[in-house]
Structure 1
Amino acid sequence: MLVQLNRMWFARAISAVVADQVLFCSEPGRTRPIGGFLAMAAIKFEALCLKNQALCEQLDGWFGAPLGTALIESERRAVAKITSDLFGFRQLEVGISPSFKVGSVGNFGHRFSSVGTWSNELGDGEVVCAPEELALPNDCIDLVILHHTLDFTSHPHQALREASRVLRGGGHMLIIGFNPVSLWGWRRLVAKRPTGPWRGRFLSRGRIEDWLEVLDFVVEEKQFGFYRPPLHSPRLINRLAALDRFCDRHSVPGGAFYLMVAEKRVGARIRQRPAWIRKNVIAMPVANRSRPAHYPKEPSR
């Protein structure tokens, strides 16, 4: 398949779609035939990918630093502990970077993730689409993990609704976000040029709980994690590791991130009359059965 476009990354994206390696989902801006195939040249998605790519590069650099690495490890331990009692078949993680994931296979048979930017390092089971437009059918996921997704998306409420759409009834949603009522929230307020995580929204946990209640979710568990201040010294970060253990043991509020697990309620569905399946068979005319003629009875003598 020959694709000639101005941007080589979009040409690789079209080739990947044909090879069934990744899946792109976005509102189509325009369509045109390319090399005998009908390719979707989404202008809106192109701008979104470029924006997400710049943010992803900043976050990759920050999470690769000692402070970001310690935060990711703390989040992974919390997710592994809280999902040990959850069971299902499909697990979806909607993250901000394909390089740093917090979900573990655990008791789920199939694990895949969704990212918002294209990369040559994408592996199997990775879907490239916006969190507000997940390329998945309704009621197909048992566990959805939103790893700081609501902190960096332009439409957090729509992203939460989309995650609720793909989650089956009785499934669970795990949300991880930065806590605004913490030392990290104060660091974000005083940042002159916000970069990395300081560009996030830092939505409050109470606000997320209100949105979940509107979407008919029940919050089962919530907790905080990572109580170390945002320092850049690796020595101080390692020395303050005992602070995390102490605060976790006593459930102290005010951690750098919050984690909550909510269950999607199962509503009673209205039973509808199933539609008749039309068979692909040509109907042949059939002669009607003839009925015997009725004659009036003779009067009895």
Structure 2
Amino acid sequence: MMQAFSTWLATTELGHYLLECEQAFFDRAVADIFGFHAVQMGLPEVDLLAANRIPWQCRAAESGEAAQIICQPAQLPFESRSLDLLVMPHLLDFTTEPHQVLREVERVLVPEGRLLMTGFNPVSLWGVRRLIQGRADTPWRGNFFPLIRIRDWLKLLDLEPVAGCFMAYAPPVSQHDWLERFGFLERAGDKWWPLAAGVYGIEAIKRQRGMRLITPKWKAAKAAQGLVVAGGNERHPTHKQAATPAGERETAKNDHARSAGRGGTDRET
């Protein structure tokens, strides 16, 4: 189904419009993501990693001459914890195993690795057309999972959604002129009706359970100063608690001697 979707993007006016919206989203999202290995899974004919600077990149797909790696999204041929960035344009919309695909995503991403994905929004004019027209043709045969469900699935796998956006606010019409007339909706949609967009984009980070930040040693040493000694009430002197000066020690000795002398006189009396 992904191959049919790729053909629809390349050969229809509505497909061109959608691809332009999603290319802009991915270009913004990948620009500031760093690491060593990045993979785009799906739509290999389009370079959605073009704005990214990760040195090793590849485009994988189930089929297609543009794919550098041919594989199934439910069985990714990558080692566990090996990818810093994984891009999935509409992959969950056109798979029969969405849960297994997400499990594979969690497996191959390094801790704090990034997932970028897009999907069709059923609560939109695009979703309405799908209900009216039916699912016979692409892209209407896609799954159209609700955003809230996708977020729940991600959280169950410790893939934390941290950012996202909506796009493709224009009605899903086929004529180029009408798409241009509805161009103002793209500019106003984020402000006035963001949830009515045809497509959503999500950025998620793989969180590692049990991970915690290790404080620098100099902070640990500073925190240890002034701690009570085990078994006593004395404290370790801090830098601000300087030792008694020599003059003060001498004065203390003289006071003690005078007190001792007075004590002796009282006893003799």
Into which bin does the TM-score normalised by the smaller protein fall?
0.7 to 0.9
Q: Secondary structure at the match of 1:168?
A: strand
Which structure has the greater CA radius of gyration?
A: 2
Asked if 1:80 is matched to 2:32, the reply is no
Q: 2:66 aligns with which of 114, 117, 122?
A: 122
Q: Secondary structure at the match of 1:77?
A: helix
What root-mean-square deviation, in Å, do the aligned CA atoms of Structure 1 and Structure 2 show?
Answer: 1.9
Aligned positions of 1:1-301 closer than 5 A: 52=1, 56-57=3-4, 59-95=6-42, 97-117=43-63, 119=64, 121-122=65-66, 126-192=68-134, 194-248=136-190, 252-268=194-210
CA contact (8 A) 1:224 1:255 kept: yes
CA contact (8 A) 1:139 1:168 kept: yes
CA distance in 2, matches of 1:136, 1:214: 22
Q: Deviations over 1:8-42 (max 9, x none)?
A: xxxxxxxxxxxxxxxxxxxxxxxxxxxxxxxxxxx
Higher percent of residues as helix: 2
**For structure 2, which runs of at least 5 residues remain unmatched after alignment?**
212-269
What amino acid does structure 2 have at the position aligned with 1:102? L
Q: Cα 1:63–1:187, aligned 2, differ >3 Å: closer, same or farther?
A: farther
What amino acid does structure 2 have at the position aligned with 1:122? A
CA distance in 2, matches of 1:140, 1:59: 27
Q: Cα 1:221–1:93, aligned 2, differ >3 Å: closer, same or farther?
A: same
- State the number of aligned residues: 211
Q: CA deviation at 1:61?
A: 3.4
- The runs of 4+ residues in structure 1 deviating greater than 4 Å are none
Higher percent of residues as strand: 1
**For structure 1, which runs of at least 5 residues remain unmatched after alignment?**
1-51, 270-301
Q: TM-score, normalised by structure 1?
A: 0.65
Q: CA deviation at 1:58?
A: 5.5
Q: Deviations over 1:29-78 (max 9, x none)?
A: xxxxxxxxxxxxxxxxxxxxxxx5xx514540354211101101101101
What amino acid does structure 2 have at the position aligned with 1:76? Q
Q: Deviations over 1:209-243 (max 9, x none)?
A: 11111101221112211100010111111222222
State the percentage of identical aligned residues: 33
